[in-house]
Each structure stands twice: as structure tokens, then as C-alpha cells.
Amino acid sequence: MSLDTIPIVDLSDFTAGGERKQRFVEQLGRAFEETGFVSVRNHGVPQQLIDDYYEAVKKFFALPLEVKKKYEIPELAGQRGYTSFGRETAKGYTAPDLKEFWQMGQIVEGEVLSKEDYPDNLMVEEVPEFNELGVKLFKSFEACARELLRAIAIHLQIGEFYFDKHIHNGNSILRAIHYPPITQEPKSAIRAEQHEDINLITLLVGASAEGLQLLNKQNEWLDITAPEGCLVVNVGDMLQRLTNNRLRSTTHRVVNPPREKWHTSRFSIPFFTHPRSEMRLDCLPECVSETNPARYAPITAGEYLNERLVEIGLKK
């Protein structure tokens, strides 16, 4: 498929204000209602920072397995540190995804929060720049997500700054994923089985190889490739739940490359924007009506996250 599989918006329109800001809100809202995915240009995340972090990510995953396993702490349920190959499965599937990954969580500022919800981040001794760059990228992604959620809040008519207090020191995650080369005939054509994200919105910088696909309303799988310099942003289940299905959490997956590229790795760096655990995900009154009654039972973000971590095999 061409690069216009998903709409493209320009975040500088939103920050410019006036008619440009309103146009951005309309474009983003329409994209999230119709496809659940969008490409964002002029997003404010420095390209040099992205490039430098990719290099550090490659260095980390190139370490011997016994070194990486030092950073795999079972009681952290994959929410911090390293998760080895074949540990995570998509909801509703038994075959594990063909990936290993690293997760960094919130760098809490100005308050003391539960270590159960916010365990300390692990620091990689062997690649010190991996830690420093990760913190910088986390905060840069978070700033971009804040602007996008403000636009979403305007679209939903709930007040521009509705999400600010919920994502300040929120339980967001920066994940670095490595899909290793394929060394033998795979049992499946899928590197990461079809799924929907758990969180409010996901921000993804261009992956190092193709493979990301979304499932459209016609039940067709379409390739997603962000134009150079763009972020791919999609709706997660928490936002779909909050908006009573007004905004779509679109099913997506990562497929294997063609045989001639089996020898290559794929790297991907998504930022999962999570709210604070106490945020309620009860359907917004603005999204409930006689013709569209509330479809979800009341629940907090923390309770919902725990449910989903059990479903994907990271938590007992």
C-alpha cells in the first residue's frame, strides 16, 4: 500500500493556534474515529535523539543473552528492564511473539508514588548511553503525547487540559523491541500477533524495517509505513473504553519480512502513553446517549492494566 494508508497531520498546526489549531483537531479526531491511526509530522521529538537511541538499542540487544538476562526480573512483570524472546503473547493467542524487548517507565517528579505501580527503572551498566538517551526520549515523547491528548480533549468537548492531570507522572512506558533474524522456517507468518494496545495512545517512531499492518473496517490488512520524519500514533483500548467506542483502538500486527530479508533484525521503539493508575476509565458522559449506551463497566486504569498484563502472559 502507499504511504497514505493512514492520514497525515502536522502538530505545528495545533501549536500555532487559531484556525490551524482547529483544523488539526478536526483532522485528528476524524482519523481516530475512522481508522484509529495517524501519521504526525513536526512532532517535536528530535530526530538526532531518535537516531542516537536506536544505536544504543542495537548495542544493548547485541549483548550476550546471559548479560541481558541480568536485567530480567520476573516480579516486575516485564514493566521494567528486559523481557527475553518468546515471553509475551497477544491477548487470545497461545503462540508467543517473536521478539525480545526492554521497558523504561516513568521518571517520577515532585511526589512520592507507590513502588508497586512505579518500580525503579533498571540501568544497563554495559551501555551507559542507553539509560541517558532513554530518559531524554521518554520525556520528549511524553511532551508530544500531551499535545495530542489536548487536541483529542478539544475534539471530545471535555476541556483542552482534561488529560494533563491524568498523564502527569502517569504510568507510561518506553519500549525498545528487537525482532531477531529468522533462522529457520517459521511456524507462523507473524512476528507479533494481531492485538490492540492497552493504553491511551501509542507513539511509534519509524521502525527499522517494514512489517506493521492495521486491520481496516473492510477486514483487510494494510501496510503502515510512516513518511520520513513522522510518528505513527494510534488509539489504545483505554481511550476507546473512555470514549465508549467513539475513538477506535484499531487491531494491528507485525508480519515476517520476505524470505530474502530473513537475515535482518527489526527494531521498533513505541511509547505507550498511560495515565496514573487511579484515573477512572468509566465511559465519558459526553460519549453516552440513548442510542449509544455505556458499553463498558466502571474500572480504574490500574485495574485495567493489571487485567491485561495477565492476559498477555507478563503477570500471573
Output the nine-digit C-alpha cell for 37.
491511526
DSSP state of 100: E
Find out whether 85 and 240 touch, Cβ atoms under 8 Å.
no
Using alpha carbons only, how large is the chain's radius of gyration in Å?
Answer: 19
Q: Return the CATH superfamily for domain 3-311.
A: B-lactam Antibiotic, Isopenicillin N Synthase; Chain (2.60.120.330)
Average pLDDT over residues 174-188: 78
pLDDT score of 278: 94
Question: What's the residue count for the chain?
Answer: 316
Give the integer Cα–Cα distance in Å for 162 and 220: 35
Strand, helix or coil for residue 87 = coil
Q: Which residues have a Cβ under 8 Å from the Cβ of 52 and sit 6 or more positions away?
A: 129, 133
The sheet that has 201-205: what strands, in order across it? 8-10, 37-41, 231-235, 201-205, 266-273, 173-179, 100-105, 81-83
Q: Which residues have a Cβ under 8 Å from the Cβ of 266 and sit 6 or more positions away?
A: 177, 178, 179, 191, 207, 208, 209, 211, 254, 257
pTM above 0.75, yes or no: yes
Closest CA to 212 of 257, 264, 262, 272: 257
Alpha-carbon torsion 307, 309, 310, 315, what sign?
A: negative
pLDDT score of 215: 87
Give the integer Cα–Cα distance in Å for 237 and 73: 27
261 sits in the region (left: phi over 0; alpha: psi -120 to 50; else beta) called alpha
Q: What is the pLDDT of residues 69-103, one digit of tens each?
A: 999 998 888 899 999 987 766 666 666 677 899 99
Give the integer Cα–Cα distance in Å for 164 and 167: 6
- The more confident residue out of 253 and 132 is 132
Average pLDDT over residues 261-283: 91
In the chain, at which residue ranges do the beta strands (DSSP E only) sit? 8-10, 37-41, 81-83, 100-105, 173-179, 190-195, 201-205, 212-215, 221-223, 231-235, 252-255, 266-273
Q: What percent of the chain has pLDDT above 90?
A: 65
Average pLDDT over residues 189-216: 78
pLDDT score of 190: 59
pLDDT score of 62: 96
Average pLDDT over residues 121-131: 96
* H/E segment holding residue 151: helix 128-156
pLDDT score of 4: 52
Output the nine-digit C-alpha cell for 140.
520528549
Q: Which residues have a Cβ under 8 Å from the Cβ of 269 and sit 6 or more positions away?
A: 50, 53, 54, 57, 137, 174, 175, 176, 177, 204, 205, 207
Q: Is the pLDDT of residue 56 over 80?
A: yes
Average pLDDT over residues 113-125: 91
Q: What is the pLDDT of residues 21-55, one digit of tens each?
A: 999 999 999 999 998 999 999 999 999 999 999 99
Pairing of strands 201-205, 212-215: unpaired
Closest CA to 234 of 169, 145, 315: 145
Q: Is the pLDDT of residue 204 over 60?
A: yes
Domain residue extents for the chain:
3-311
Query: Torsion angle, CA of 207/301/241/250, rounded to 10 degrees?
Result: 10
